[in-house]
Amino acid sequence: MFILNRRNFLKRILSYVPWKETRTISNLPLFANAVNFSDRTALYDGAGSYTFGNIFARAAELSSSISSRLSGKTNERVLFLCSNDVNYVITLWAIWMSGQIAVPLSPLHPVKILQYYAQDTGCKLLITAPQHQEVMRKISKTTSTNLYVIEEGLQKFAGLNTTTPEDLRGKLPSDFKENSNALILYTSGTTGNPKGVVLSHKNLLVQTNTLLQAWKWSSEDVILHTLPLHHVHGTVNALFCPLQIGARTIMLPKFSTEEVWSHLLGTNETLSNVDVSVFMAVPTIYSKLIDYYEKNLKGKKEDVRNRLKSKVRLMVSGSAPLPVPLYEKWLEISGHRLLERYGMTEIGMALSNEYDSDRAPGYVGVPLPGVSVRLSETTNDIHNTLLECKNESGTISFNKKANKNTQGELLVKGGGVFKEYFNKPEATRKEFTEDGWFKTGDMCEYVPEKNKFRILGRTSVDIIKSGGYKISALQIETVLLAHPDIRECAVLGIKDEVWGEKIAAVVVLRNGAEVSLDKLRDWASDKMPKYALPSELKVVEDIPKNAMGKVNKKELAKSTF
C-alpha cells in the first residue's frame, strides 16, 4: 500500500500535471505528495502564505544540512521546537526527507520536561526557530546535543515562488523504507514517565488517508488550525490531512476565541477572502467559543448561523468527551451537528460518527474504515471478548448478533496502530493482548438502538483529561511530593464545564506549614506544563486509605469537593 521508492517518486513527478480539484487519495508519504500541488497555496500563517512547492524546496534544502550534521546517518531522533507557523512544516518535512525521526516539542513544556524527551529519545540533533533558541540552548548544554537554529527569514524564503516540480526531482533519500519510523509523540500513562509513541510513515499514511476518505476532504478545503502541534489531533487530523490532499491551512499561532471567530465569520482583517470550510477542536475550545459568542455575537445570531452553515462544511470535536449540552448549544448557534470522533495517540482515530449519516450527541460512532474494535471484559489482565466489530472498506460487521447494549474495555486493531513505545519493549508488550489488540484503557458501550459506540470513561482514575490534554495524576503527585511542605497528596480530576476535568490536589502538610494554591502553582511551574498545574487545592489533616493502603479517589473527590 505504501509504495514509495525513488523510482515511484520520480515517476510521480514526471506525471505531474497542473493542479486540478481532486479527491484522489495518494499513497505517497506526506511530504512527497507536495509535488502534486506545487503551485497551490498550502499554508497561511501570521507572516504570509506559502505554496506546497516552496515549502518542499525549502525543506529539501534544510534536509541536506540535517544529513550533513548527522554525517549521513538515518533513523536518528531529531527534536524540534517551532511555533505554529510554516517553520514547523518545513522542519518536519526536512527531518523526514533526511530519513530521521521527528520529535515535535511544545513551547508549553518547561525545560525539565524537554530535557527528559531529549534524554529518553537519545536525541542526536536539536532544531529550533530563532524565537525558541534560549530554551533549546539549555537543552543542548545539559544533554550535550548539537543545536541547529534555523536562520531568520526561513518564512520569507518559503514564500518565494521560484520552484518548479523539476527542481524537486530526486530530493528523496533513496533508503526511504516502507516501515521507516516517522514521528515520536509523548503521552502519559498511569505509571512511570511519559512514553514516546513511535508512529511509522505507514501508520501516518493510513491514519491520514482514512480520515481524508471518511470525512470527505478535497483540495478545495480550507482548515482553520488552532491546536498544539505535539499531539495527534493537531498534527495528523488537522495538519497532515490538508497537506496530503492539497488543501489549505490557516495556522494560528495559538488559540484565541476572537481570532477563531473572525476567521469563521470572514471578518479577519488579513484573510477575509479565504473562507474556512473545516474546523477541528477539543470540547473546551467549543465551550470558549460559545462564551465569546454569548458576550459579543449574540446580536448577530442570524448572520453567524447563515455564514457558518453556508461556508463551513465540517466541524469536528474530539480528544475528550463532548457533553450533550455543548453539542446542542453549538448546533443552535452554528447550525452544525459536531462530528464527534474518538482517538488516542497510540492508535490515531478509531471511532467516528459518519460524515453522511446521523451524528448522535454523546456517541462516537462506529469504527473507521480499516479499524477493528473489541469490547472486552477484563479481569486480572485476562480479556474475554464480548463483541467485535470491524469496518472493511466501509462495510461494518459484527462477530455476532449485536442486539443488546454491551459494555467493556475498548481494544483496537488496524494499520494506524503505533509500532512501539520508544525503547520500552516491556511497556509496549503490556499494552497489547497476546493476539495483538491494543488496550485503550477506555470503557466503551455499543448501543444497538443507535447503532453506535459511546465512551463511558477511563478504566483508571489516574488519567485526567483537561482541556483535551491527557495528564497523569501520578506524575503530578510525584512532583508535588517533592515540595518541602507537602507530606502526602492525592491528585484528582474534578468535573468541570469548560475544561472537562480540572486538576485538584488534596494535600497533607508537614507540621506548621502553610501552602496556598498560587504559591504551589508558582513553585511547580518549572516542573510541569501550565495546563497540568492544579487549579484546586484542599489542605486536609489526613487522606483516608483502604486496608491495602490505597486512596479511593472517587470517594475522596466526593467527600472533598
Question: Which CA distances in Å does 358 have to 184, 373, 456?
Answer: 35, 21, 20
**Chain centroid offset of residue 220 CA:** 23
Find the shortest distance in angstroms from Cβ 324 to ligand AMP.
12
Distance CA 123, CA 105 (A): 12
502 binds ligand MCA (CB under 6 A): yes
State which of residues 9, 176, 255, 293 lies at the interface with ligand MCA (CB under 6 A). 255
Question: Which CA distances in Å does 168 have to 24, 78, 103, 394, 511?
Answer: 21, 23, 25, 36, 68
Total site size for ligand AMP, rule CB under 6 A:
18
- Nearer residue to ligand AMP within complex by CB, 383 or 465: 465
Longest dimension (CA), the chain: 76
Buried b / exposed e over 408-420, threshold 16 CB at 10 Å, is bbbbbbbbbbbbb
| CA dihedral of 62, 63, 68, 72, whole degrees rounded to 10 | 180
State which of residues 244, 428, 440, 466 lies at the interface with ligand AMP (CB under 6 A). 440
530 binds ligand MCA (CB under 6 A): yes
State which of residues 29, 228, 321, 367 lies at the interface with ligand MCA (CB under 6 A). 228
Distance CA 84, CA 98 (A): 22
DSSP assignment letter at 393: T
* Closest of 114, 109, 108, 80 to residue 96, by C-alpha: 80
188 binds ligand MCA (CB under 6 A): no
* Closest of 160, 525, 205 to residue 348, by C-alpha: 205
- Nearer residue to ligand MCA within complex by CB, 194 or 468: 468
- Stretch near ligand MCA under the rule CB under 6 A, chosen from 97-105, 188-196, 343-351, 363-371: 343-351
Rg over alpha carbons for the chain, rounded to the nearest Å, is 24
Find the shortest distance in angstroms from Cβ 423 to ligand AMP.
19
Buried b / exposed e over 323-355, threshold 16 CB at 10 Å, is beebbebbeebbbbbbbbbbbbbbbbbbbbbbe
Phi, psi of 364 (to 5 degrees): -110, 15
53 binds ligand MCA (CB under 6 A): no
Asked whether the beta carbons of 154 and 129 are under 8 A apart, the reply is yes
317 binds ligand MCA (CB under 6 A): no
- Stretch near ligand MCA under the rule CB under 6 A, chosen from 25-33, 362-370, 435-443, 466-474: 466-474
**Chain centroid offset of residue 353 CA:** 18
Find the shortest distance in angstroms from Cβ 233 to ligand AMP.
8
Question: Which CA distances in Å does 68 have to 62, 65, 88, 176, 446?
Answer: 10, 5, 20, 17, 53
Asked whether the beta carbons of 311 and 266 are under 8 A apart, the reply is yes
Phi, psi of 547 (to 5 degrees): -60, -25
Site string for ligand MCA, 16-35 (x = CB under 6 A): --------------------
- Nearer residue to ligand AMP within complex by CB, 321 or 369: 321
Site string for ligand AMP, 353-382 (x = CB under 6 A): -----------x------------------
319 binds ligand MCA (CB under 6 A): yes
Instruction: Please report which residue ranges of 161-265 form alpha helices under DSSP H.
Output: 165-168, 201-214, 241-245, 257-265
Question: Which CA distances in Å does 344 have to 189, 368, 412?
Answer: 12, 13, 10
342 binds ligand AMP (CB under 6 A): yes
* Closest of 167, 148, 175 to residue 5, by C-alpha: 175
345 binds ligand MCA (CB under 6 A): yes
523 binds ligand AMP (CB under 6 A): no
Residue 537, helix vs strand vs coil: strand
- Stretch near ligand AMP under the rule CB under 6 A, chosen from 260-268, 341-349, 354-362, 485-493: 341-349
Distance CA 490, CA 514 (A): 17
State which of residues 316, 344, 444, 551 lies at the interface with ligand AMP (CB under 6 A). 344
- Nearer residue to ligand MCA within complex by CB, 60 or 504: 504
Sheet order of strands, 536-539 included? 486-496, 500-509, 536-539
DSSP β-bridge partners for residue 45:
48
- Stretch near ligand MCA under the rule CB under 6 A, chosen from 49-57, 165-173, 277-285, 364-372: 277-285
Task: Give the other-Cβ count within 10 Å of 492's Cβ.
Answer: 25
- Nearer residue to ligand AMP within complex by CB, 84 or 237: 237
Find the shortest distance in angstroms from Cβ 227 to ligand MCA.
5
320 binds ligand AMP (CB under 6 A): yes
- Nearer residue to ligand MCA within complex by CB, 41 or 319: 319
State which of residues 36, 91, 145, 319 lies at the interface with ligand AMP (CB under 6 A). 319
340 binds ligand AMP (CB under 6 A): yes
State which of residues 12, 171, 233, 439 lies at the interface with ligand MCA (CB under 6 A). 233
352 binds ligand AMP (CB under 6 A): no
Instruction: Considering only residues 142 through 181, tell me which ones interact with ligand MCA, judged by CB under 6 A.
Output: none
284 binds ligand MCA (CB under 6 A): yes
468 binds ligand MCA (CB under 6 A): yes
483 binds ligand AMP (CB under 6 A): no
535 binds ligand MCA (CB under 6 A): yes
* Closest of 209, 501, 499 to residue 349, by C-alpha: 209
Per the structure block, which three cell numbers stand in for 493? 480530576
- Stretch near ligand MCA under the rule CB under 6 A, chosen from 72-80, 278-286, 303-311, 415-423: 278-286
- Stretch near ligand MCA under the rule CB under 6 A, chosen from 279-287, 363-371, 416-424, 451-459: 279-287
| Chain contacts with ligand MCA (rule: CB under 6 A) | 227-228, 231-234, 254-255, 282, 284-285, 318-319, 343-345, 466-469, 499, 502, 530-531, 535
| Chain contacts with ligand AMP (rule: CB under 6 A) | 187, 232, 318-321, 340, 342-345, 364, 440, 442, 455, 458, 465, 470
